[in-house]
Amino acid sequence: MRTKLMAANWKMNKTPDETRVFFREFLPLVAGHDRDEIVVCPPYTDVDAAIAGARGSKVAIGVQNVHWKADGAYTGEISAPMLVSLGVTHVIVGHSERRQYFGETDDTVNLRLKAALEAGLTPICCVGEVLEEREAGLCDDVLRRQCVRAFHAISAKKAAKLVVAYEPVWAIGTGKTATPEMAAEAHAVIRREAAEVFGEEFAAKLRILYGGSVKPDNAAVLMVQEEIDGALVGGASLDAKSFAGIVKY
C-alpha cells in the first residue's frame, strides 16, 4: 500500500560531467520501472546537470541538506525556496554524517524539516543509532528521542510529505547491514513514535526507508520486509548499473 522510495545519496561525489554520464546510463536501465519512486540526491553543484539529465523521466532530484531560513546573511547556505526554484523536490535532512562532522543536532533537524515541508519539499529525515548505543541496548530510546525532537511542533497536515530513513550509523559505508529483522524492529519503533505524534492514520502511510550498505545483492532481502518502504543508498548509488540493480531488486 506504500509506494517504495528508492533514494540515492551521492554525498560529495561527481562533477556535472560525471552526472550527465550517470543519467545517460541510468535512465535506460530503469525505463518503464513504475513500481517505485526514484530520487537522486547529488551535491548542489550537480543539480542543474541532474535535472537536465533526468528530464522526461520519472526520476526526481533531491539534495542533501537545506537551511531553515528562506534568505539572509547565512554564508554558504542554501534555502528551501532556492531549491524549489531549481526544480528540486526532495531533501535529505539530519544525515548521520551531518550530525557527526557538522554539528547537526536534533533541534536543527527539526528546523530544517519545518522549512522543507513549508516549501513543499519532501524531506527524508535520517535517524539511527551508533554502535555503542545499540550495544548498550539504547537503540529504541535513541530512535524515539530523534523522532520526537525532529517532529516537534509539526502538524500531521504539514508533515504529509515526510519520509523517514532508518540508518544505523554502524552500517553506513561499512559493508555491514542491519539484518532484515533488526531493520523491521527499528522501523516499527519509528512508526509507533510517528503514531504518537501524528496519529495512527498518518503513521500507517508514513514511508520509512532503510539505509546502510544497501547493495544489489542484499536489496531484495531487505526490501521484501513489510516494514521497509524503500532504501537510502550511498556508495552503491554512484554507479548507474549498481543503483539500477537496487531499484529493480
* Site residues, ligand PEP (CB under 6 A): 9, 167, 172-173, 211-214, 232-236
The residue written with cell numbers 523536490 in the block is 89
Closer residue to ligand PEP, CB minimum distance, 83 or 219: 219
Cα–Cα distance for residue pair 8/241, rounded to 1 Å: 13
Q: What's the closest the beta carbon of residue 85 comes to ligand PEP, in angstroms?
A: 26
Closer residue to ligand PEP, CB minimum distance, 79 or 213: 213
Structural element, H or E, at residue 48: helix 47-54
SS3 content of the chain, % helix, strand, coil (to 5): 45, 15, 35
Cα–Cα distance for residue pair 94/104, rounded to 1 Å: 7
Residue 33 appears among annotated catalytic residues: no
Q: What's the closest the beta carbon of residue 246 comes to ligand PEP, in angstroms?
A: 9
Nearest to 23 by CA among 1, 45, 56: 56
Residue 196 appears among annotated catalytic residues: no
Q: What's the closest the beta carbon of residue 132 comes to ligand PEP, in angstroms?
A: 18
Q: Minimal CB distance to ligand PEP: which residue? A: 234
Q: Residue 109 in contact with residue 147, Cβ under 8 Å?
A: no
Closer residue to ligand PEP, CB minimum distance, 115 or 214: 214
Question: Choosing from 67, 90, 95, 187, which is the catalytic residue?
Answer: 95
Closer residue to ligand PEP, CB minimum distance, 118 or 239: 239
The CA–CA distances, whole Å, from 40 to 22, 92, 93, 100 equal 11, 11, 14, 23
- Side chain identity at residue 169, one-letter code: V
C-alpha cell at position 165? 530513513
Q: Residue 70 in contact with residue 81, Cβ under 8 Å?
A: yes
Cα–Cα distance for residue pair 231/37, rounded to 1 Å: 11
Query: In degrees rounded to 5, what are phi and psi of residue 221?
Result: -65, -30
Closer residue to ligand PEP, CB minimum distance, 53 or 168: 168
The CA–CA distances, whole Å, from 162 to 4, 33, 221, 236 equal 13, 23, 25, 24
Q: What's the closest the beta carbon of residue 177 comes to ligand PEP, in angstroms?
A: 8
Q: What's the closest the beta carbon of residue 225 comes to ligand PEP, in angstroms?
A: 16
Q: Which residues are catalytic?
A: 95, 167
